[in-house]
Amino acid sequence: MKTLKTTLLITCSLFFLVGCNNDDDSPAVDNQENIPENNALDIGDYHEGGVIIYLDATGEHGLVCSITDLTDGNTYYAIWNGGVGDIPGADGTEIGTGKQNTIDILNGYIQGNGPNAAGLCAYYSVIIDGERKDGWFLPSKDELNLLFIHKDLINATAVANGGTEIGNERYWSSSEYDADYAWKQALYDNGGQYAYWKPTYSDRVRAVREF
């Protein structure tokens, strides 16, 4: 009986030691591997001289708007361009089309009475930590609508960083409606979007930039 007990004790001890001293060389499982990192950026953040109004799927790239309405030094109101006639290519309305619209407007620009909206955006720049941030443009119809959607966040961040609030005004988009009209939006009440006569109507401008 003692021999049997001793044999069982030795067998159990060996089993325990083998189980606790696994020589498997496979790497340890990283429990953090599948936990997504928190995005450092969010809508309404101050970033690269503007306020974030859009983030793509990566959470690292998107659009910012300027922290103030643009001016030529004399007025905060601008015409779309100086005459009627179709501007080839300046008809994009979706998010991501404002930059090319602005290039097309400037390429087909007709000099008018007063500053033009696309020109104010194209020549706008800010310096952040010694680095010039240029490449601003007049937002497309859908990009402009983001300013209405996020107006409260934009205003709070803009003012906190030395800028000004988006006014209860109409603002130009870079999206042409037809040869005579272009889209603008009332950034107040229900945020209505309207097609207005391009050569003579003057309204506010706030620039947008990719990052």
Task: Split the chain (211 residues) into runs of 10 and give each run's mean pLDDT.
Answer: 39 37 36 46 97 96 98 93 84 98 89 82 95 97 98 98 97 96 97 92 96 96
Q: What is the pLDDT of residue 93?
A: 98
Cα–Cα distance measured from residue 25 to residue 176, given in angstroms and rounded to the nearest whole number = 65
Q: Where are the domains of the chain?
A: 46-210
The predicted model scores a pTM of 0.80
Q: What is the pLDDT of residue 31?
A: 32
Q: What is the pLDDT of residue 39?
A: 54
Cross-strand pairs, 172: 184
Residues belonging to the chain: 211
Which one-letter DSSP state was computed for residue 204? B
Q: What is the pLDDT of residue 1?
A: 44
